[in-house]
Amino acid sequence: MLDRLKMAGSVWLLDHVAPDWVNYVVSNTMTDLNRWFNDFIWSYDVKARVEAVVDEAPGVKTYVLRPNQHWKPCQSGQHVRLHLNVDGERVERCYSVSAVRKGQSAHAQRICITVKRQQGGKVSGWLHDHLRIGTVLTLEQAQGQFVRQSHEPSSPALFIAAGSGVTPIRAMVDAHMSQASGQRPDVQVLLQFRQAQDIIFRSDWAQWAQQGLPVTVNLSQLDAAAASVGLNTRHGRLDRQALQQVPDLTTRNIYLCGPDAFMRQMLTDLAALGVDPARIHTERFSFDTAGAGMAELAGGLEGAELVFAHVNACVSLTHADQGKTLLQLAHDHGIPLESGCTKGACGTCKLVLHEGEVSGNVLGRSVYLCTSFPASRRVVLGS
């Protein structure tokens, strides 16, 4: 009872006072007593309280979260890392922010994450079973580079997503649709799901379609329910034919997210249709590291060059650098590069391959430095 009152008070405070001021007072009164009394606000961590749980589709839930004063505004397409305690074990998982909801006052921001229960997934299953209204999560600030390209804000775009990959795409389309209709750039959305009942965020897509957004949903298993969905549906997987229907395909910035096999297929198809790989931006949720190994470099490693163009740094490799990933090579040679999960999933260390070849975790021209290796004597990476 007291806990609920305290939490209600904390949320009221956060909704009505700017986070900067809350932080000023809280950080200067961070006594052990205060931390014991209210550890939602008097905390050094970013925390969020589950305010609502929404069933999006079978096995898919959206959690509406109210973060504390440490939360900084995020860009659409970014993700958050949750720090969880699952069955006594400390685990971390990243989830895309699928929506940002504004509240009644300027500071009353809520964020949404959408979690699909993976078969045999330890964490997604735990979240579905244990996250209730009132649960408090510890998380980190939003991160990730899967965002609308800021240097070309009005260029046409194409959003392609399948399955749970639709979460960051929804956030980006949401931001797009919140612009005034006269100022919106040309945007097309292609989605793929298995059946009509599996469509995630169906009501959102239907609403936006009504507002003029060109959305096509590809259903690999068409069933009777598809007709009543209120969306433009197409039977069959998203394939080259469907891509060819998109006008001005080669001039668009393409944002792609979905299961690995789907993305690889898409990249092949897009390349075959003449799309410049530099225009394709991807977000990957997981990576099978079992296959990633270092290919034996023709000519040996000694004297091979590794260039990080965006920080103007060049590394000369030696025999001692055998077997190291690109990220390890950078760090061992004193180049501070950003990294996150170091497991090939979050994309924080991702760079674009400008010259040369790499092996391992590569998606198109995007290289996940933490799980890939140099595969030519000169490799140039940049932003």
Partner 1 sequence: MSQNTPTHINYDQVETEFEAIKQRYRNKLGPADVRYIKRLRTASRLSEVLGRGLLWISKEPITFALGVLFTWLHRNLESIEIGHNVLHGQYDGFEEIPQFHSRNFKWKAPVDEEGWRREHNGLHHVHTNVFEKDPDLNHGILRMNDRTPWNGYHRWQVPLYLFVAYPIVLYGFNQQNLGFRQDYRARKFPKGNEGYALVSHPGETVQSLKRRHWLSVCRVLFKEYVLFPLLALVTGYSFFKVLLGNMLADGLNNYWISLTIQATHFTAPLQPEDAVKNRGRWYVSQLDSSVNFRGGRLMSILWGHLNYQIEHHLYPDLPSRHYPDIALEVQEVCARHGLPYRCNPSWFHAIRNYMGVMWKYSFPPEDGNTSLSGGRHA
Q: Which residues bind partner 1 (CB under 8 A)?
A: 24, 27-28, 30, 44
Q: Which is nearer to partner 1, 39 or 357 (CB)?
A: 39
Secondary structure class of 89 (helix, strand, coil): strand
Alpha carbon of residue 13 to chain centroid: 30
Smallest separation (angstroms) from partner 1 to the CB of 24: 6
Q: Which is nearer to partner 1, 34 or 342 (CB)?
A: 34
The 8-class DSSP code of residue 143 comes to B
Q: Which is nearer to partner 1, 34 or 220 (CB)?
A: 34
Q: Which is nearer to partner 1, 12 or 44 (CB)?
A: 44
What are the backbone angles phi and psi of residue 24, rounded to the nearest 5°? -60, -50
CB-based burial of residue 328 (10 Å sphere; 0-12 exposed, 13-18 middle, 19+ buried)?
Answer: middle
H, E, C per residue of 98-137: EEEEECCCCCCEEEEEEEECCCCCHHHHHHHHHCCCCCEE
Smallest separation (angstroms) from partner 1 to the CB of 49: 20
Task: Order across the sheet with 313-316: list the strands.
Answer: 313-316, 305-308, 378-382, 351-355, 366-374, 358-363
Smallest separation (angstroms) from partner 1 to the CB of 33: 10
Smallest separation (angstroms) from partner 1 to the CB of 106: 19
Token couple for 317: 């490799």
Smallest separation (angstroms) from partner 1 to the CB of 44: 5
Q: Which is nearer to partner 1, 136 or 206 (CB)?
A: 136
Q: Which is nearer to partner 1, 84 or 267 (CB)?
A: 84
| Helical segments of 182-304, H only | 202-210, 240-244, 260-272
Q: Which is nearer to partner 1, 28 or 150 (CB)?
A: 28
Smallest separation (angstroms) from partner 1 to the CB of 312: 18
Q: Which is nearer to partner 1, 31 or 312 (CB)?
A: 31
| CA terminus-to-terminus distance, the chain | 51
Determine if residue 262 is left, alpha or beta; phi over 0 gives left, psi from -120 to 50 gives alpha, anything else beta. alpha
User: In Å, what is the CA distance from 217 to each residue of 240, 256, 365?
Assistant: 15, 15, 27
Secondary structure class of 159 (helix, strand, coil): strand
Q: Which is nearer to partner 1, 27 or 241 (CB)?
A: 27
Smallest separation (angstroms) from partner 1 to the CB of 261: 40
The 8-class DSSP code of residue 186 comes to P
d(CA 213, CA 226): 19
How many other C-beta atoms are found inside a 10 Å radius of the C-beta of residue 346? 25
Smallest separation (angstroms) from partner 1 to the CB of 34: 11
Smallest separation (angstroms) from partner 1 to the CB of 150: 18
Token couple for 23: 């932080």
